[in-house]
Amino acid sequence: MSEQSISQRTRWGILATGGIATAFVQDLKTMPDAEIVAVGSRSAESARAFAGKHDIPRAYGSWRELADDADVDVVYVATPHSAHYAATRILLEAGRAVLCEKPFTLDLSTTVELIDLARDRGLFLMEAMWMRCNPSVLRVVELIRDGAVGEVTSVHADFGVVGPFEPGHRMRARELGGGALLDLGVYPVSFAHLILGMPEHVRAWAKIGPEGTDENTGIIFGYESGALAALTSGMLGQTTLGATISGTKGRIVLDPPFFRPDRFTLHREGAEAEVVDVPRDGLGYRYEAAEVQRCLRAGLAESPLVPHAATIQVMELLDEIREQIGVSYE
């Protein structure tokens, strides 16, 4: 890994000024070892307004200017996912470490291209799949590895939101990578991958909206072990936001929303149900930020919690699902 000037307090840049950037900044401000030094946007006015609101010293009216700021240790990319590739490539080419929101890009080829670029440059790069850094989720994974539910036989996970969204909204617009799958379904898919790994069989169906993007999507993963994952995502109504992992000796039920739970319930064979509380600090983004900072200080080019291989495999699955349901961003 190339030498990066990592100060005692990790110096963050924020690329984009929307709601997710605001939430991330709120959590960063609670971390004594993090410092937000710059924000960049395609609009100088937006960058200045964001900087003023959050007491950020430098505001740039272009991504390139932020990328060229040598005082920035790592940049958080918070654009709509249709812009993840372009923004992350600019940052990597300028020598910046990057935490990029999920889904990492719109397809497998661009995901691999960015990861290869980061590896070639010796730069840290991580997908902001905060679920994989959540303490409750990590505890669930630990219990499963310890055999708490026996051999896993099924995973059920769901993420739906209430619409309707206007045709030009990022959730629907094809040019913005819209649709339930990439925005919401990436969580159930990533969760199933975390628990069961890559499936041998993938089947999917979706209701396609007038923009050519998916509005309601169902997915089945099949594994040679006999296990399966049943996953749903949609934007036609409020759903459970829950997840259950079943095994030969019990099951684990995560409280909603399953991707940032504060508790879960462990049902062991022949025992009383055990409620496990894992209180969350802040909004939940600080855990991925802390992982980034830990990796930078250790000189790592990728995180063991959100490894490049997982990002690539999840994107491979998303590509396969999109092909089956007929959604294309070409």
Q: Just list the catalytic residues.
A: 102
Decide: 233 and 166 in contact? Cβ < 8 Å: no
Strand 201-208 to 58-60 pairing: unpaired
What are the residue ranges of helices labelled H in 128-185?
Answer: 135-145, 180
3-state secondary structure 240-269: CCCEEEEECCEEEEECCCCCCCCEEEEEEC
* Angle between the N-to-C axes of helices 186-196 and 135-145, in degrees from 0 to 180, rounded to the nearest 10: 30
User: 253 pairs with which residues across the strands?
Assistant: 244, 265
DSSP-derived secondary structure letter, 280: P
CA atoms 124, 322, 225, 276: torsion sign? positive
Q: Which amino acid is it at 75?
A: V
Decide: 47 and 65 in contact? Cβ < 8 Å: no
Q: Which residue has the tokens 């799958």?
A: 181
- The span from the CA of 186 to the CA of 151, in Å, is 24
Q: How is residue 117 written in tokens?
A: 């670029």
Count CB-CB contacts under 10 A for residue 268: 17
**DSSP E strand stretches across 131-238:** 152-160, 201-208, 214-222, 228-234
DSSP-derived secondary structure letter, 71: T
